[in-house]
Amino acid sequence: MSRTAYRSLFASLLSVCVVLSATGCGGSDTSSPANTTPTPSPSSGPTATPTPTPTPNVPQTREVVTNFAAGLDRWDGDFADLPANYDLPTYETDFRLSVLPAPLDTTRQSALIQSHNRSDDLFMFVRRRVDGLAPNTLYEITFDVAFASNAPTASVGVGGGPGASVYVRGGATTARPGVTVVDGYLRPDFDPGNQAQPGRDGANLGITGIPGEEFVYQLKQLAGAAPRLVQTDAQGQLWLFVGFDSGFEGKSVLYLTQIRARLIPR
């Protein structure tokens, strides 16, 4: 083929390409739009929900308050430091629900506790179990105890004054505080202290004595703390006690109007 023929063929092919380009070979405004959907990235599966960090079971402070308006609220009474076979009419021990004596509000309920000390020393006390605490945990325990007494602090009596020689106890134990027979006498099976001296389990909150000289019932309030931290048992239980330790060799009749205990985990 001559050079002239080649030139003619090349010119023809060029004309065809221009025509095809105008009709869509290179794309135009009338062409179908390009697929703009993004290509999804590879997925390794559904995202796992993070496991929440468990909240620690932190022991909480607890208050036990009894005002005896609705009953004894699981408090019960006991007596120690007297003969195991003591004669009830002689020692006159009693614990029960009672209204306050005159001149106080005689419609108000209280817990009466009484005894006649004929053995030089007599301990009467009330106790109550507290449930629902943290198991095997140490607690600090404080007390507010309100009661009615008719014994003036300045009064005198055999063995000691009926107001100045009757001491108020507050404390707690892991096991139930009770009494046991030792040499023919009922003795506490815990250590509440002895009269003015505190014990391992009990603090001396004060005395039952009231101001003035008249043997007329007045309300009195005392506060204090147990002498040591007390541990709950495996069920989260411990026992509270409030008592009256008498060095006065005579009859004491007291009316508990409120016991408030605050248990603080440590």
Residue ranges per domain, the chain? 62-265
Nearest CA among 234, 6, 244 for reference residue 124: 244
- What is the token pair recorded at 186? 């009922």
Q: What is the CATH number of domain 62-265?
A: 2.60.120.200
- What is the token pair recorded at 119? 């053995």
CB 49 within 8 A of CB 87: no
Could you tell me the end-to-end alpha-carbon distance of the chain, in angstroms, rounded to an integer? 111
Query: What's the pTM value of the predicted model, to 2 decimals?
Result: 0.79
| Cα distances (Å, whole numbers) of residue 237 to 73, 186, 234 | 16, 26, 8
The arrangement of strands across the sheet holding 185-188 comes to 82-83, 185-188, 179-182
| Per-residue model confidence as pLDDT tens for the chain (266 residues) | 444 444 454 445 434 333 334 444 444 333 334 444 555 455 555 566 666 665 557 899 999 999 999 999 999 999 999 999 999 999 999 999 999 999 999 999 999 999 999 988 999 999 999 999 999 999 999 999 999 999 999 999 998 999 999 999 999 999 999 999 999 999 999 999 999 999 999 999 999 999 999 999 999 999 999 999 999 999 999 999 999 999 999 999 999 999 999 999 99
